[in-house]
Amino acid sequence: MDEIEIPEAIREEIELPKKSASALTLPIIGIVLLLGVAGLFSIFLLSPKPKNTSQPVEQPPIKAIPPQQKSQANQPSVATPSPKTPEAKPSKGDLLGHLPYDVAPQSSLEAITADGRLRMRSAAAKKFKQMQADAKADGVKLTPISAFRTAEAQEQLFFGIKEQRVQDAAKRAEVSAPPGYSEHHTGYAIDIGDGDAPATNVETTFAETAAFAWLEKNALKYSFELSFPPNNEQGVSYEPWHWRFVGDRNSLETFYKVRN
Ligand SMILES: [Zn+2]
């Protein structure tokens, strides 16, 4: 709000009272001035505001935050199961809700298990192993179940099991990505189990394990996040076991760059 200024003419009269004024006229002048100022002030209040004020009136538009995102911002948890039905937002280039991914070059991969069977991109592998060791120190067994996958491996996983379970493509795609469309191709994604509760492996009940509770609390410290929290935009079923690394530029671009 602008400061209210006393008009210059009045100010001069206040600052320079006439020396010749008698004792009676001075209070009268004072009252008249006060009434004048009050009158000007009320005119100022009633008149419409000038367009060019010292401060810009325009405010940045307030972004509406979806309730789910809002609650996640306030809580340390990565994902909280919610009864809401998924709202699939198909994006360009997707296939049954899954996005296309390049298969990571073999040279970029590093083993995360002693037998070398499971591999991730070097940066992700290092962070996972660190996370696993820190969890172990807390008495929690983070067990890698599946990490990098070739397109051939995904082919078997998608079509082989689809036929086994007699599922149509859309049904199969709710829980598995078609070959070429799995985050596991990138070398940044990993399915994690609880070594003390193997029965929950790749099941939504994994969300009830100590391993999941530990991950919810700590995974972000190692730049791991849930890919498919409840009600994710892709419309993929909630996968509490499936985590992805987003701790370097390439992984961030892989998962977050706007796809045209
Ligand atoms: Zn997975």
Share of the chain above pLDDT 90, in %: 60
Distances (CA, A) of 84 to 129, 145, 204, 232, 241: 35, 29, 16, 11, 20
Span of 22-31, 124-133, 222-231, 233-242 with lowest mean pLDDT: 22-31
Residue 252 lies in a domain: yes
With 0-12 / 13-18 / 19 or more C-beta atoms within 10 angstroms meaning exposed / middle / buried, residue 37 is middle
For residue 20, report the distance from its CA to the centre of ligand 1, in Å: 95
Residue 163: predicted pLDDT? 96
CA 192 / ligand 1 centre spacing (Å): 8
Higher per-residue pLDDT: 220 or 40: 220
Phi, psi at residue 17, to the nearest 5°?
-70, 140
Instruction: For the chain, report the end-to-end CA distance as a whole number of angstroms.
Output: 46
Contact (Cβ atoms closer than 8 angstroms) between residue 108 and residue 121 = yes
Tokens of 178: 């078609």
158 within 8 A of 179, measured Cβ to Cβ: yes
Give residue 136 CA to ligand 1 midpoint distance, Å.
Answer: 22
d(Cα 75, Cα 134) in Å, to the nearest integer?
A: 22
Asked whether residue 29 is assigned to any structural domain, the reply reads no
Which CATH number characterizes residue 176's domain?
A: 3.30.1380.10
E strand intervals along 1-153: 109-111, 119-121, 142-146
Which amino acid is present at 109?
L
> Considering the domain boundaries, does residue 101 fall inside one?
yes
Does 46 map to a domain? Answer: no
Provide the pLDDT for residue 26. Answer: 53
- Find the 223 Cα to ligand 1 centroid distance in Å: 17
12 falls within a domain = no
Q: How far is CA 40 from CA 6, 11, 28, 36, 46, in A?
A: 9, 13, 18, 6, 10
Q: How many domains does the chain have?
A: 1
pLDDT reading at 37 higher than 60: no
From 7-21, 108-122, 187-201, the region with the lowest mean pLDDT: 7-21
Please tell me the predicted confidence (pLDDT) of residue 49. 43
Amino acid code (one letter) for 160: G
Lowest mean pLDDT among 8-17, 129-138, 218-227: 8-17
Report the alpha-carbon distance of residue 53 to residue 60 in Å, rounded. Answer: 17
CB 194 within 8 A of CB 210: yes
Which range, of 21-35, 183-197, 234-248, averages the lowest pLDDT?
21-35
* Spatial distance between the Cα atoms of 193 and 148, rounded to a whole number of angstroms: 16
Q: Residue 227 sits in which domain range?
A: 89-256
| 76 CA to centre of ligand 1 in angstroms | 23
Ligand 1 center from residue 219 Cα (angstroms): 16
Closest among 196, 233, 253 to 86, alpha carbons compared:
233
Residue 65 included in any domain: no
Q: Which of 114, 120, 121, 179 is nearest to 151 (CA)?
A: 179
- Please say if the pLDDT value at position 93 is more than 90: no
**Per-residue confidence at 45, pLDDT binned at 50, 70, 90?**
very low
Ligand 1: centre distance to CA 73 (Å): 24
Tell me the average pLDDT of the chain. Answer: 78
User: 2 or 236, which is more confident?
Assistant: 236
Q: Is 203 domain-assigned?
A: yes
Give me the mean pLDDT over the 183-196 stretch.
98
85 pLDDT above the threshold of 80: no
CA of 65 to the centre of ligand 1 (A): 28
Cα(194)–Cα(62) distance, rounded to whole angstroms? Answer: 42
Dihedral pair phi/psi, residue 185, rounded to 5°? -65, -30
How far, in Å, is the centroid of ligand 1 from the Cα of 68? 23
Residue 215 falls inside a structural domain:
yes
